Amino acid sequence: MLEVARITGGRTLRGEVTAAGSKNACLPILAACLLTRETVTLRNVPDLSDVRYMAEILRHQGADVVVAEPGTWRIKAETVGHRTPYDLVRKMRASICLLGALVGRLRRCEIALPGGCVIGPRPIDLHLKGLARLGCDIRHDAGYLRVDAANARGAYVFLGGRMGSTVLGTANLVMAAVLTPGTTRIDSAACEPEVTDLCRMLAKMGARISGIGSPCLIVEGVESLRGCEHAVIGDRIEAGTYLVAGAITGGDVLVRGVEEQHLGAFLDKLEAAGVRVESSPAGLRARGGPSRPIEVTTQPFPGFPTDLQAQVLAMQLVVDGLTTVTERVYPARFMHVPELQRMGAEIDLEGATAIVKGGRPLSGAPVMASDLRASAALILAGLAARGETWVQRLYHLDRGYVAFERGLASLGADIVRLPNSALPTGLGEE
Ligand code: EPU
């Protein structure tokens, strides 16, 4: 059933929320469960459609996936199939992280190539370059990648690309290398906390990885891996989105369950914008609204995350003056802009830079979510707008936020989830 969020703007958000487990840490971690025959117990698994979908894929590959209690999953992959069909891959691009896990476990795989993505081109050339450096034989055939790693050996891999490091490319190469004989050195590895979390879990399974958290990972291949227990890190992007929700309404929001150092560049920009930021053992707190324009440029970690670009852009709509937002990770990731313009936002797009002329009043409107983070940004703008905003295609939001509308409502937002049929006549999709 298609659903829509109705937000009535103007409420000031106050209170506390807890970040769920990180989606982007959890997806490759679930794939990594295929690297052992033994049981892996995962805690802090977020209840998200993308994560449930990954479970379906693991089951297709032959794993037993049991939700022991909410947030605690047990995965046992005694036998694993080597083929992942297009039907499974096309719905979620992140399923490409099976590539490294299957190569690691089976020394071969056959996986459908993921298709396009609304946030821009998402090539996997670096994933393949890494595997080829290890000596994998890679063939493209009828939309599938066939990888034969029978003769793979550890090797030196420079994994940087045009846009810098690659998150899932690094995850794939590490998962392949942990069970590949010899030493693999990965330079220009992604340093995102989600990659670090995967490496920490692999280390618990018996993998030998040094340099975890740095751009140089050294992996000594081992013969086999064992089961382990691992708690997924808190979702820094969800946490950042809640902090923006507080700030865009001039409120006071505390988010528990996430580490300050995972959000360094983001918190720095909130402060530069005039939001009062505090970090304490209780969590991260944002008080008051933004009062100054800022310049934001997205970059790989520890730079400003592309996954918080749309949200901060929305926040700066309430500030007088010119804010510039430049995308250096996904230069075309601005689908939220035309929808925000429908709410009265003044934004010029020049190449990969959005120039936000803040301070114009926002008015509620029916808008269309195009992807996960864009849908969050539209809801945030709705919190600050006059009147009602109807955000359609809520399934995008549900891929990465656990019951976001309930979290916001608990902070005082006027937001409800409704079936599409509740849309006033003429506003809905056919
Ligand atoms: N790139 C290449 N070649 C490659 C791989 C990537 O040129 O082989 C380029 C991409 O086109 C992009 C840049 O490198 O310009 C970074 O892409 P990256 O590979 O790091 O992205 P990803 O691993 O596919 C993950 C997250 C994204 C997040 C990016 C960047 C998951 C499941 N997805 O994608 O999350 O935006 O890293 O941090 O971890 C989201 O959660 O909304 C989301 C899109």
Q: DSSP for 327-348? A: -SSSTT--THHHHHHHTT-EEE
Cβ-in-10-Å burial (0-12, 13-18, 19+) of 264 comes to: middle
Give the Å distance between the CA of 84 and the centre of ligand 1. 21
Token pair 């030493």: residue: 183
Q: Are residues 319 and 361 in the same domain?
A: yes
pLDDT at 9 over 70: yes
Q: Are residues 119 and 255 in the same domain?
A: no
The predicted structure's pLDDT at residue 90: 87
Residue type for position 38: E
172 lies in some domain: yes
Cβ-in-10-Å burial (0-12, 13-18, 19+) of 139 comes to: exposed
Cβ atoms of 39 and 63 within 8 Å: the answer is no
428 lies in some domain: no
Where on the phi/psi map is residue 181: left (φ > 0), alpha (ψ -120 to 50), or beta? beta
The predicted structure's pLDDT at residue 122: 81
Q: Whose CA is nearest to atom 17 of ligand 1?
A: 166
**260-282 average pLDDT score:** 98
Give the Å distance between the CA of 307 and the centre of ligand 1. 10
pLDDT at 428 over 80: no
Tell me the pLDDT band of 130, cut-offs 50, 70 and 90: very high
Q: Which of 201, 222, 243 is the last residue of a domain?
A: 222
- What domain range is 112 assigned to? 23-222
Ligand 1 neighbours, Cβ below 6 Å, are 24, 27, 94, 121-127, 161-163, 166-169, 190, 194, 306-307, 329-330, 372-373, 400
Residue type for position 262: H
Q: Which atom of ligand 1 is nearest to the CA of 306?
A: 36
Torsion angles phi and psi, residue 171, rounded to 5: -60, -45
429 lies in some domain: no
**351-367 average pLDDT score:** 97
Beta bridge partners of residue 109, listed in sequence order: 147
Q: Which atom of ligand 1 is nearest to the CA of 127?
A: 8
11 lies in some domain: yes
CA distances from 288 to 276, 304, 308, 323 (A): 6, 21, 19, 18
pLDDT at 430 over 60: no
Among candidates 131, 207, 202, 203, which has minimal Cα distance to 166?
A: 131
Give the Å distance between the CA of 350 and the centre of ligand 1. 22
Q: Are residues 357 and 214 in the same domain?
A: no
**30-37 average pLDDT score:** 98
**54-69 average pLDDT score:** 97
**306-310 average pLDDT score:** 98
Number of separate domains in the chain: 2
Tell me the pLDDT band of 181, cut-offs 50, 70 and 90: very high
**296-308 average pLDDT score:** 98
Q: Are residues 217 and 307 in the same domain?
A: no
**And the tokens for 274?**
């005039």
pTM of the model: 0.97
Cβ atoms of 184 and 154 within 8 Å: the answer is yes
Q: Are residues 30 and 113 in the same domain?
A: yes
Torsion over CA: 319, 322, 327, 328 (sign): negative
The predicted structure's pLDDT at residue 340: 98
- By residue count, the chain amounts to 430
Q: Are residues 52 and 192 in the same domain?
A: yes
430 lies in some domain: no
Q: CATH number for the domain including 46?
A: 3.65.10.10
Instruction: Name the percent of the chain lying above pLDDT 90.
Output: 92
pLDDT at 325 over 60: yes
Peptide bond into 121 cis (omega under 30): no
Cβ atoms of 190 and 300 within 8 Å: the answer is yes
pLDDT at 392 over 60: yes
C-alpha to C-alpha distance for 186 and 181, rounded to whole angstroms: 15
403 CB-near residues (< 8 Å, 6+ apart): none
Q: Are residues 271 and 371 in the same domain?
A: yes
Mean pLDDT value across the chain: 96
Beta bridge partners of residue 110, listed in sequence order: 83, 146
User: Which of 26, 328, 329 should be mutated for ligand 1, with most atoms under 8 A from CB?
Assistant: 329
Q: Which of 173, 193, 222 is the last residue of a domain?
A: 222
**45-72 average pLDDT score:** 97
C-alpha to C-alpha distance for 239 and 285, rounded to whole angstroms: 10
- CA–CA–CA angle 183, 189, 193 (5° rounding): 115
Beta bridge partners of residue 417, listed in sequence order: 5
**And the tokens for 287?**
């008080």
Tell me the pLDDT band of 429, cut-offs 50, 70 and 90: low
**And the tokens for 161?**
């690309």
Q: Are residues 259 and 209 in the same domain?
A: no
Q: Are residues 55 and 127 in the same domain?
A: yes
pLDDT at 114 over 90: no
The predicted structure's pLDDT at residue 91: 86
The predicted structure's pLDDT at residue 116: 66
Q: Are residues 65 and 214 in the same domain?
A: yes
Q: Which of 171, 202, 222 is the last residue of a domain?
A: 222
Q: Are residues 199 and 256 in the same domain?
A: no
Torsion angles phi and psi, residue 176, rounded to 5: -70, -40
Q: Are residues 244 and 346 in the same domain?
A: yes
356 lies in some domain: yes
For the chain, how big is the Rg over CA atoms in Å? Answer: 22
C-alpha to C-alpha distance for 263 and 269, rounded to whole angstroms: 10
120 or 19, higher pLDDT: 19
3-state secondary structure of 59: helix
Residues belonging to the active site? 117
Beta pairing class for 72-76 and 64-69: antiparallel
pLDDT at 72 over 90: yes
30 lies in some domain: yes
The predicted structure's pLDDT at residue 197: 98
Beta bridge partners of residue 392, listed in sequence order: 4, 368
Q: Which atom of ligand 1 is nearest to the CA of 94?
A: 32
80 lies in some domain: yes
